[in-house]
Amino acid sequence: MQKDILDRSDLELLIDQFYKRVLSNPEISFFFTEVVELDWETHLPRIVDFWESNLLGRGPYKGNPMHVHIDLNKRSKLEHNHFEVWLQLWEESIQANFDGPMAELAIKRAKQIAQLMQLKLQSPPSL
């Protein structure tokens, strides 16, 4: 049986696996390589921080993913199918490496955030 997501090193492995899938995916890789030219040495630990805060209730993440994706959406539109692919790759990366309540929660949280993001991207900016 596979282990659950328990600490930062588990998240590092997960994020590494997830981005390998993202970067070899023909439908969404361009966001990360062309729309934004990411500095991976900064981005990867930031994403690990985000999930450490979100799932493990600790971690140094201070940021606003909604604003980041609203900006991204202005540069290149984030469509519903992009979110579907993103979530599919996230779920695959988790299921290939982990099993347990935290792994389930990571899938559930990502779906909730993706839903909220899509709502925010549709609604007009608040005054």
Interface ranges with ligand HEM (CB under 6 A) = 28, 31-32, 36, 38, 46-47, 50, 63, 65, 68-69, 72, 78, 82-83, 86, 110, 113-114, 117
Nearer to ligand HEM by C-beta: 3 or 75? 75
Taking only Cα atoms into account, the Rg of the chain, rounded to an integer number of angstroms, comes to: 15
When the beta carbons of 3 and 74 are compared against ligand HEM, the nearer one is 74
Residue closest to 28 by CA, chosen among 74, 83, 105:
83
SS (H, E, C) 101-122: HHHHHHHHHHHHHHHHHHHHHH
Nearest CB to ligand HEM, comparing residues 50 and 98: 50
Residue nearest to ligand HEM (CB): 63
- Minimum Å gap between C-beta 63 and ligand HEM is 3
CB of 29 to ligand HEM, least distance (A): 9
Judged by beta carbon, residue 60 or residue 127, the one nearer ligand HEM is 60
Query: Are the C-beta atoms of residues 31 and 82 closer than 8 Å to each other?
Result: yes
Give the residue from 126, 96, 104 showing the smallest Cα distance to 16.
96
Looking at the chain, the number of H-run helices and the number of E-run strands are: 6, 0
